Every structure is written in C-alpha cells, then in structure tokens.
Amino acid sequence: MSGYTLLLYSALGHTSALNASLITATNPALIVVMAIFMLGDRPGPVGWLGIALGLFGVLLVLTGGDVQQISYLSFNAGELLMLCAIVVWGLYTIIARRLDLPAIAATAVQVAMATISLTPIALAAGAELPDTAAGAWSLAYVALFPSFGAYLLWNLALKSTGPAVAGNYLNLIVVFTAVITLLLGIPVTTPQILGGLLVISGVLLTGVKRRARQPAMA
C-alpha cells in the first residue's frame, strides 16, 4: 500500500497523465500473467477475449480514437516509476487473494502500517495539513473513500473472485470517468463511447465465464 502510493504519485511528477494512464491500462493483463505463474489461475478463451476487449476499449478512450499515440510513448523516469507501481499493485492483488484474514481486519492493519511508514516521509517532504475547511473535507474524502474504502472493497472482492477477473474491472475506471465528465457538461466523443462499450463488454465476458464455472466447482 505504501509502495504503490509513493511510486504512483512520484511517477505523476515526472510524466504526463496520458502516459501514466496508458501504462496503467496494462495492469489487468499484468495481473493475469502474475496469477498464472503465482496462483495457477488461468482464464479460458472467453476470459482472454474479455481482457483484450477491455484493454482496447481503454486505449480508445484514453487516446480519443487515435491509438497511434501509443507509438509516441517514451520510457523515462516517470514511465519506469509507473511500471513499478503497477507491478506492486499486481503483487498486492496476488497477496491479498492469499490472505486468510477478514477483509476489514486486513485492510485496517494495512492502513495502519501505511500511515506509520508514510508519515516520516511526508514530514521530511514538508507536507502540511490543509488550512481551509474545503481542503480538510477534500483530504477527509480522499482518506476515507478512494483510500480506505477502495482498498476494503478490493480486498472483499478478492475473497469471492480471482485476480484475473477482478483486474479486468479496473478498466471500468475510465468508463466512470467518462460518465462523470458527461455529467459535468463536458461532451463525450464517439471513440470514448465506443471504448466504454468495449470495456463493459470485456467485463461482462469475464463475469460470464466465472458464473459458468461455479456449478462445476460446486
């Protein structure tokens, strides 16, 4: 949790949001590869199709339909830090799947450990608490929902599904972002709509495969 946070925000200080997002788009596929080698969790043909559709859909949304932008991606310090961040997240997903602890307990311990390990780094970097009510509420929101809440829900999900299926749901982040953008009054382009549909189709395909396996496992 600490390593991913540090690597992610350090990367964003040295690369563009687009480059970081393009690298993050490979996270579901990376989790699948890790799950194959570390857990023996191999998706079937339908699962692989869902992962491929999700990846292509995310790339369509991020590049606005101009997928050739990927060829302009260069690997400097920021991009390498981002690659390290998604590797750490993949390892976190695999380890969380193996933890034989209640999700709420595991998340609480992880948050406590991350707070202890990151506080000295934040102080050394000169971080300060917000001095306005708006800033304080923003910090509280980030700490409660995207941080603790997101990790808790992720750990709960891993109790009932494999890393490969869970990882593909990460692609929905770009879909939710597009929907929020639309609600804010910013127009959504045709490639973004098409990419969102591909992402949703990919997620549904991986979900269908999982439901099909359940009777056999029972």
Digit-coded pLDDT (tens) for 29-45: 899 889 888 888 888 88
Q: How many Å apart are CA 32 and CA 171, to the nearest integer? A: 14
What predicted TM-score, i.e. pTM, was given to this entire model?
0.80
Does position 214 have pLDDT exceeding 50, yes or no?
Answer: no
The pLDDT, as a whole number, for residue 84 is 95
CA–CA separation, 94 and 81 (whole Å): 20
What contacts 24+ positions apart, CB below 8 Å, involve 73-78? 73/19, 73/22, 73/23, 76/14, 76/15, 77/14, 77/15, 78/11, 78/12, 78/13, 78/14, 78/15, 78/16, 78/19, 78/20
- pLDDT of 208: 65
Tell me what the mean pLDDT of segment 87-104 comes to: 91
Gap between the Cα atoms of 56 and 70, Å rounded: 12
**Would the pLDDT of 139 be above 80?**
yes
Q: Tens digit of pLDDT for each residue in 161-212?
A: 888 889 889 888 888 877 887 888 888 888 888 988 999 998 888 866 444 4
Q: Which residue has the tokens 């382009």?
A: 189
Q: How confident is the model at residue 70 (pLDDT cuts 50, 70, 90)?
A: confident
Could you tell me the two tokens for 65? 């339909």
In this prediction, residues 100-120 reach a mean pLDDT of 92
Average pLDDT over residues 6-22: 84
Higher pLDDT, 214 or 138: 138
Record the tokens describing residue 160, joined without a space. Answer: 């009932």
Is 25:62 a contact under the CB 8 Å cutoff?
yes
DSSP-derived 3-state class of residue 82: helix
Sorted by where each begins, the domain ranges of the chain are 2-213
